[in-house]
């Protein structure tokens, strides 16, 4: 079924960690529960919470016979070595469910999710990717990318193979999406309808701007604005500023200009 290709993870498999511990696992936990802190022996009773620790996590541990003020935080690797792997995974699953990162992988939930992308249940549950059209494959990919309810979407040419109706639906969905969206596209019409800022790559240079560019918005010139279209600038006396004159010269240009001035001076010509 298509959803097995898209999620990359089976919730049922993850939930197996919540089954009863084996005698071997109980023995390892009992041995690993004993910990010495400042010369005092303590026994781990429960793992309560989790927080980020560099590229991993650390977990709040409570001890038998002690109040919560005596709780400490231990790294994930240490707890696993002590035999608390299943307890750690239970906390991970609980946090993932709380954040909405895990959803029940049941047919009804999956078909409902992909229905929002214009795919009928038979396409989702009874077809292979090989049997779908280009537009249907794009919808599958978009549905898979949003399965975990992400905060940021990065879309590379998302308009490929989409018909008019699907394209309009995609634009409407992105406008209501409350997270960040980065789009790579060659479709100017699509970017104008959805993007507030555009980064255009031209002749090896990246130009950042907005389609409806106004002063104070965007960080570059208007898209398609030529050099002749630039607004004139004036000094405090009302004189027009010659931008070519004020342009900073390179060291080679400065030496060349100096030689030209010296040559003109020898000939008695006036220098500008």
Q: How does DSSP classify residue 234?
A: B
CA 229 to the chain's CA centroid: 36
pLDDT at 102: 60
Give the contacts of 177 (CB within 8 A, at least 6 positions apart): 153
What is the number of other CB atoms lying within 10 angstroms of the CB of residue 69? 5
Structure tokens at 110: 């999956």
Separation CA 12–CA 219 (nearest Å): 49
Separation CA 123–CA 1 (nearest Å): 9
Sign of the C-alpha dihedral, residues 161, 166, 168, 170?
A: negative
Residue 149 φ/ψ, nearest 5 degrees: 55, 65
pLDDT tens per residue across all 272 residues of the chain: 333 333 334 444 445 545 577 888 889 999 999 999 888 999 999 998 999 888 889 999 999 999 999 999 999 999 999 999 999 988 888 787 676 656 677 888 888 889 988 888 888 888 888 888 888 888 999 988 888 788 889 999 998 888 888 888 899 888 888 888 888 888 878 887 888 777 877 777 877 776 544 444 444 455 555 444 445 555 545 556 665 555 666 777 888 888 888 888 877 766 55
Separation CA 101–CA 259 (nearest Å): 69
- Structural contact between residues 82 and 25, judged by C-beta atoms closer than 8 angstroms: no
pLDDT at 10: 42
Name residue 72's beta-bridge partners: 61
Structure tokens at 230: 């630039």
Residue 196 φ/ψ, nearest 5 degrees: -85, -20
Name residue 59's beta-bridge partners: 50, 74
Domain 11-98 fold is OB fold (Dihydrolipoamide Acetyltransferase, E2P) (2.40.50)
Domain boundaries of the chain, sorted by first residue: 11-98, 107-194, 198-229
Nearest to residue 57, comparing CAs of 14, 17, 94, 29? 94
Give the contacts of 155 (CB within 8 A, at least 6 positions apart): 142, 145, 181, 182, 183, 184, 185
Structure tokens at 124: 């989702």
Q: Angle at the Cα of 158 (from 152 to 164), degrees rounded to 5?
A: 125
Domain 107-194 coded CATH 3.40.50.300? yes
Would 11-98 and 107-194 be classified into the same CATH topology?
A: no
pTM flag (> 0.75): no
Structure tokens at 219: 């960080």
pLDDT at 176: 87
Residue ranges in 38-133 assigned as alpha helix (H): 76-81, 85-98, 107-115, 121-125
Pairing of strands 72-75, 34-37: unpaired
């Amino acid at each position: 079924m298509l959803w097995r290709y898209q999620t990359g993870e089976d919730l049922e498999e993850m939930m197996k960690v919540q089954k009863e511990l084996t005698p071997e696992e109980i023995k390892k936990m009992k041995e690993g529960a004993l910990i010495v802190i400042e010369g005092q022996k303590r026994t781990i009773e429960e793992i309560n919470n989790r927080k980020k620790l560099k590229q991993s996590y650390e977990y709040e541990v409570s001890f038998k016979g002690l109040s919560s003020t005596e709780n400490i935080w231990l790294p994930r690797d240490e707890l696993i070595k002590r035999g608390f792997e299943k307890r750690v995974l239970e906390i991970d699953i609980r946090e993932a469910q709380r954040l909405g990162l895990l959803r029940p992988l049941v047919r009804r939930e999956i078909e409902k999710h992909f229905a929002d992308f214009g795919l009928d249940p038979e396409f989702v549950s009874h077809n292979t990717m090989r049997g779908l059209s280009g537009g249907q494959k794009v919808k599958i990919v978009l549905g898979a990318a949003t399965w975990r309810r992400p905060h940021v979407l990065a879309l590379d040419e998302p308009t490929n193979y989409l018909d008019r109706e699907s394209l309009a639906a995609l634009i409407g969905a992105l406008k209501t999406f409350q997270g960040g969206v980065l789009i790579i596209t060659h479709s100017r019409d699509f970017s104008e309808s959805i993007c507030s800022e555009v980064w255009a790559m031209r002749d090896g240079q990246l130009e950042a701007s907005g389609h409806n560019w106004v002063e104070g918005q965007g960080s570059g010139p208007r898209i398609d604005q030529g050099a002749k279209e630039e607004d004139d600038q004036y000094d405090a006396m009302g004189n027009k500023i010659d931008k070519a004159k004020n342009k900073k010269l390179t060291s080679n240009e400065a030496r060349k200009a100096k030689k030209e001035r010296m040559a003109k001076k020898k000939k008695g010509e006036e220098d500008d």
